Structure 1
């Protein structure tokens, strides 16, 4: 990650990788360094297309040190000052404090996360980033994070421009669309629902594990187009494989785990599947440790209507699966805020299969418990 380290902060020491013989998902590993040439992009596009049409998944110390600051160096009182009004605004910006989401059987979550937007803001029409109001922006963050904002900004931009845009070109090639089709819908300065998330899971009492059958976060899909997860060693993330079995995601040093979300499924007419994933209690040799995560949640520009790219030759051959009529398609902003405000707060309809359902903006959304 580019950028200058500006402040000393404590080092976060994660748990050692598990030695348990877990049933790991067999994921495709994408070497995005190959994406620097047209030949490499063509090769990767085919691998990526295969991964996303089956499972929806494929495969730095400093950023994890930064990620731990909003949890270990901020008091509970100050956290409450910066708590997001999630249900009212449909936005996670700021803190999502523990026990906000209902998991099951009266048990609420033990996960805390801090979500950050760009430090700077855009001046129209020349499109330059202003430093004049940096102090105003800093007041929107806990005091201990303010010296680290330039690093967080650089990290956000690196994820969006260098990683996300590279992947989006492969997504487009997989649909035989012009390379920049999805890139043009993901402008860094206009994707207001995109953000960096630092997320920390805390161990739970045994009685809560029993009540929830060890589920920390029930199976779900993300609302955006792409989620970038920086791999960390505490095993807890699982995906629902095509054979209906939940399988663990293996930790790989310096790797990224990438999932596709609802918005990408909508834009691809159901061709690229939104990844169904959940978080469970870690294996025995990692219990008692906190689990620190670093994410970049990517969305399109706010005003993009989430309609399929019907001009794709691939979709014309394979057919388009629509979750709603094109005329009723929500914008990215509407879908993002609707999913965010409802998650963990609404009454779900339980089915005999164990799947729980709700309808958001006329779209059936499923949760897997």
Structure 2
């Protein structure tokens, strides 16, 4: 008989990195320990400029989280996702209604005929009143205060600083422009994510061409990926080639997402990335991840910022993102509809062949996918 909880084992042992010589992306690193120094924020904004010019991916160090903090979350992720399907089913996310909090089982949609997706997720929303009564497995409740502290540290020590850097980069009069629209206590889709890609056999990988999750953009403002040594993440570079994203010791991997893209008319690029089969020396490992998803407040209109001198000089302040009815898209509704379309429909609606027909329509707006 299955137990009601799983043991959280520390210290958590990460998988060894691949020994293969892969075509790694050249990404900048933002050292947030500079933030409080005189001129530090401005220096970081200059460094961030390169991420904008490249692919919208970058590393973050000096983030104030200890290795123990992060390893504890990996141990929790392993425990939660090791529960039996029957136990996890009690917390299944209402994907069909656009709610991704809770458990997303593997195999909820077809990638190609006969092959379903191989990832499962457990999302824990930020710690505000509207989520206070949401049920969670016992192992989560047992470590509730630890998870809450981790979530709030991420917001205060990392997210807030990055949002200030973005505002300075855009030369906004108020360097807290983004901070004021990403308040932790206000309704938005921020969540901590435990995620696992299950290993595939050679036959499935052959049928998929090695692509486990098609090239796509993320829904919110920012995605923060804690060190994940199993190589599988790739980013679409400016030259149209896929580059591997290398894990860095004590660094987070960050990427920009849809909301910032819409608010800046594409100046802050929502980076295109995908997940592929790991190298041969890691092919036998289930790929466990800890991720923090940053979402702008639900009520925000996703229209270009008008008081950025940078966007004004580039002529990027006038083209609004409107839905099929000519109404500005709200951030919360954008995320909800993308979830329904992408995860709640039960099918992979885009072929992933890089063609113009390889799109899905969300709120009257085209979302393109890439193989």
- TM-score greater than 0.5 by the shorter chain: yes
Q: 1:156 to 1:352 in 2, by over 3 A?
A: closer
* Equivalent residue number for residue 199 of structure 1: 195
Query: Secondary structure in 2 aligned to 1:158?
Result: helix
* Equivalent residue number for residue 176 of structure 1: 171
Q: Please, what TM-score do these two structures have when normalized by structure 2? A: 0.89
Structure 1: tracts of 5 or more residues without a match: 1-6, 123-132
Equivalent of 1:142 in 105, 127, 137: 137
Q: 1:347 to 1:115 in 2, by over 3 A?
A: closer
* Equivalent residue number for residue 45 of structure 1: 45
* Equivalent residue number for residue 324 of structure 1: 321
Equivalent of 2:365 in 341, 359, 363: 363
Contact residue 14 and residue 291 of structure 1 kept, 8 A: no
Contact residue 220 and residue 295 of structure 2 kept, 8 A: yes
Could you tell me how far apart the structure 1 residues matched to 2:275 and 2:168 are?
A: 32
Given the alignment of the two structures, is residue 246 of structure 1 paired with residue 242 of structure 2, yes or no? yes
CA apart distance, 1:304: 0.9
Structure 2: tracts of 5 or more residues without a match: 1-5, 60-66
Could you tell me how far apart the structure 1 residues matched to 2:363 and 2:252 are?
A: 32
Residue-by-residue CA offset, 1:315-334 (whole Å, 9 max, x unaligned)? 01012174634962211110
CA apart distance, 1:351: 8.2
Residue-by-residue CA offset, 1:57-82 (whole Å, 9 max, x unaligned)? 0013222112212112x221111111
Query: Secondary structure in 2 aligned to 1:181?
Result: coil
Given the alignment of the two structures, is residue 56 of structure 1 paired with residue 67 of structure 2, yes or no? no
Could you tell me how far apart the structure 2 residues matched to 1:237 and 1:312 are?
A: 33
Could you tell me how far apart the structure 2 residues matched to 1:197 and 1:341 are?
A: 18
Contact residue 119 and residue 150 of structure 1 kept, 8 A: no
Q: Please, what TM-score do these two structures have when normalized by structure 1? A: 0.89
CA apart distance, 1:301: 1.1
Contact residue 58 and residue 259 of structure 1 kept, 8 A: yes
Q: How does 1:1-369 map to 2 (within 5 A)?
A: 9-11=8-10, 12-59=12-59, 60=67, 61-72=71-82, 74-87=83-96, 89-121=97-129, 136-137=133-134, 140-177=135-172, 178-320=174-316, 322=319, 324-325=321-322, 328-344=327-343, 345=345, 348=349, 350=351, 353-354=354-355, 356-369=358-371
